[in-house]
Amino acid sequence: MTLDSFSDRHHGRAVFATMTPEHRAAIGAVRDDLRAAGYDEDGVRAALGMPVLDLQPAAFHHLDRHVLGTDPLATAIRLFLLDRVVAEKDVRALLGEPALDVLFSLDVLGEADGGLRSQVHLTCAHDLLLATDTGRYSDWWTGADDLSDRVMYIGYDSAGLASVAPRDRSRRTLDLCSGSGIQSLVASRYSDEVVGVDINPRAIRFARFNAALNGIENVTFVLGDLLGPVAGRAFDRVVSNPPFVPEVPEGARLLYRDGGPDGERLLAEIVAGAGRILEPGGLMSITTDLFNLDDLPRRIGEWLGVRDGFDVLVLVERRFPVWAYADTHASHAPTARERAAYAARMVDALEDVGIRTVHTGYIVVRRRPGGTGRGAAGPVTVETVSAAGPVRRPAGTHVTDHFRFLDREREGGPDDDGVLLPNPAVRLVTSAPPGGAETHRLVAPEDDYVADMDISDLTRKLWQATAVSDVRWSVIRGSALEPVARELVRQGALTLRDLPAAGGSDG
Ligand SMILES: C[S@@+](CC[C@H](N)C(=O)[O-])C[C@H]1O[C@@H](n2cnc3c(N)ncnc32)[C@H](O)[C@@H]1O
């Protein structure tokens, strides 16, 4: 049974099923009322004392009883994040009549136990309000009631991809596996036109509601299987958060999670489509769990199925011990015994398909501006960079810089020059233990892309030189400093920029 058929049976219709152009026009009242109550990422973080993405069901009761007050913001959090039944008078203090009308008629709000309850969560991320299904782990546990069409919560992978995907101007952007629509809606800010594709009709309805809720009009959501609905079209940018969790045999199925036995069923198909779907110079940014990282470059090359024309950046966030990965995916189990049993089955399932290591991260595939084949000199490159940890803040300019550097190297020729600029978020920390030698470290606590680096004295000298004067690439190239500079560029601590235009003006 799916959630849609469940709510059909219980309410006679499913959430958002009745949405009309009139609803779309009226949904802005919901956004305005929530914003007026301070319901945004910062407001919710301040009220809960934690980032909204860190919320766990185990915390709901405590937050409700001992942390939240009685103001409209607290009402919104109880209703739309903590699954509480809220007194109607409190909801009326939060939402005006027009907003209430829309939410009732779309079956978002309903009466329950002497108050009102929301059928959806509304999460604040990337300056958007996003409706998703409630609960991450709860009632889809049993095989019989798998509720497999649940629309995915906003996870670290969702928010992370929206941070990693570059935001420079795009004419056409495609969001594969759009779910709640978060990637499409963020992309709508830097794209003329966005198409989101999802195979789950419930997700398409949620995404359309979310576009209206955020007043966004240049996005279309289409029902279909991966590239099927956009066959024959090409895009400047593709973003995708596909289902990537390896399936446990006989486990309950979940559309947003299940990536086939090895977790890579959809990933492989999406990467394989890069040649057809990306314009020359186009970028495909994907978030996924990265299995057997040491062998991943080979698999990516195999999926691409070409020998040239592409550069790939694998951005690694953090390593997950296999047992901890299995345990995370078992955390919906109703008892500790069942949790341990499910985790053990997952460990065995991972072993059966040869998964030895798990990292979280991103794969960015760039079709070279020259395209594929003749003129697209050099084999496919796959480079791996370790980020500082989970990417929570926008980091797309690093990705753009990464590919720009590769292009320069490939096409620039011996006369190409530039200036090495230090990343202003990076600081040099020098420590000198009593009687010991000085050690140097580059740190960037405000930049999630740049991992802390212990550096040599030579690297320190180069770094300090870039901070006080223009260091030309032509001076570094071919010298002992070149590998050092390359490493700093690769890690995002330095950027190679064009030389400033010659000064002076002819008036
Ligand atoms: C991990 S969720 C991502 C949701 C959202 N894009 C985000 O970043 O939070 C994966 C989504 O892929 C959809 N999906 C699964 N198989 C698909 C397929 N073959 N074609 C298109 N979408 C698919 C699921 O319905 C689900 O909404």
Tokens representing 329 are 């995916």
Atom 26 (ligand 1): residue with closest C-alpha? 256
- How many angstroms is it from 300 CA to the middle of ligand 1? 20
- Residue 167 burial (CB count, 10 A): 18
94 and 162 share one domain: no
Nearest ligand 1 atom to alpha carbon 153: 9
- DSSP 3-state of 440: strand
Of 387, 411, 435, the one marking the end of a domain is 411
Is residue 365 located within the same domain as residue 425?
A: no
Would you say residue 505 lies in a domain? no
Clarify whether residues 369 and 491 are in a common domain: no
pLDDT (0 to 100) of residue 11: 56
User: In whole angstroms, what separates CA 355 from the centre of its chain?
Assistant: 23
Please write down the HEC assignment for all residues of 362-376.
EEEEEECCCCCCCCC
Are residue 218 and residue 287 in the same domain, yes or no?
yes
Distance 200 CA to ligand 1 centre (A): 8
Q: Are residues 197 and 249 in the same domain?
A: yes
pLDDT of residue 335: 86
Same domain? For 253 and 354 the reply is: yes
Within this chain, do residues 207 and 298 fall inside the same structural domain, yes or no?
A: yes
**Ligand 1 binding pocket mutation candidate from 199, 258, 264, 288 (most atoms within 8 A of CB):** 199
Pocket test for ligand 1, best of 176, 177, 195, 277 (most atoms within 8 A of CB): 177
Specify whether the CB–CB gap between 359 and 316 falls below 8 A: yes
- Residue 349 CA to ligand 1 center (angstroms) comes to 22
d(CA 216, CA 198): 18
Residue 455 lies in a domain: yes
- For ligand 1, atom 14: residue with the closest CA: 177
* Distance from Cα 36 to the centre of ligand 1, integer Å: 32
Q: Which of 353, 383, 411 is the last residue of a domain?
A: 411
Look at residue 331 in the predicted model and tell me its pLDDT.
82
**CA nearest neighbour of 388 among 428, 445, 429, 430:** 445
Query: Are 203 and 313 contained in the same domain?
Result: yes
Last residue of a domain, one of 411, 445, 469: 411
DSSP secondary structure letter of residue 308: B
Here the CATH number for the domain that contains residue 294 is 3.40.50.150
For ligand 1, atom 2, name the residue with the nearest CA. Answer: 256
| Structure tokens belonging to residue 48 | 């809960």
Task: Please indicate, yes or no, whether residues 241 and 376 belong to a single structural domain of this protein.
Answer: yes
**C-alpha 68 – ligand 1 centre gap (Å):** 34
Q: Cα separation of 83 and 137, whole Å?
A: 14
- Residue of the CA atom closest to atom 4 of ligand 1: 179
Q: Hey, whose CA ends up nearest to atom 19 of ligand 1?
A: 225
8 A C-beta contact, residue 364 and residue 286: yes
- Quick: pLDDT tens for 462-481: 999 999 999 999 999 889 99
Q: Is residue 146 part of a domain?
A: no
Structural domain of 97 = 3-125
| Distance between Cα 193 and ligand 1 center (Å) | 20
Ligand 1 atom, smallest distance to 257 CA: 1
pLDDT at position 482: 93
**130 occurs within a structural domain:** no
Residues of the chain with pLDDT under 70: 1-2, 5-13, 136-146, 371-377, 502-507
Residue 207 lies in a domain: yes
Q: Ligand 1 center to residue 152 CA distance, Å?
A: 8
| 502 within a domain of the structure (yes/no) | no
333 CA to centre of ligand 1 in angstroms:
23
* pLDDT of 13: 64
How many angstroms separate the alpha carbon of residue 490 from the centre of ligand 1?
Answer: 31
In a domain, 222, yes or no: yes
| Nearest-atom index, ligand 1, CA of 157 | 8
C-alpha of residue 21 to centroid of ligand 1, in Å: 25
Report residue 479: phi and psi, to 5°.
Answer: -95, 175
Q: What is the pLDDT of residues 204-248, one digit of tens each?
A: 999 999 999 999 999 999 999 999 999 999 999 999 999 999 999
Is 115 in the same domain as 262?
Answer: no
Closest residue to atom 6 of ligand 1, CA basis: 178
Rounded to the nearest angstrom, the distance between the alpha carbon of 133 and the centre of ligand 1 is 14
Closest C-alpha residue for ligand 1 atom 5: 179
Same domain, 407 and 427: no
Ligand 1 atom nearest 178 alpha carbon: 6
Q: What angle do CA 119, 121, 122 make, to 5 degrees?
A: 130
In a domain, 137, yes or no: no
Total tally of structural domains belonging to the chain: 3
Torsion of CA 392, 394, 395, 396, to 10 degrees: 130
- Residues at CB less than 6 angstroms from ligand 1: 152, 158, 161, 177-180, 182-183, 197-200, 203, 225-226, 241-243, 255-256, 266
Q: Residue 159 pairs with which residues in a beta bridge?
A: none
- 362 and 460 assigned to the same domain: no
- Nearest residue to 380 (alpha-carbon basis) of 362, 365, 363, 397: 365
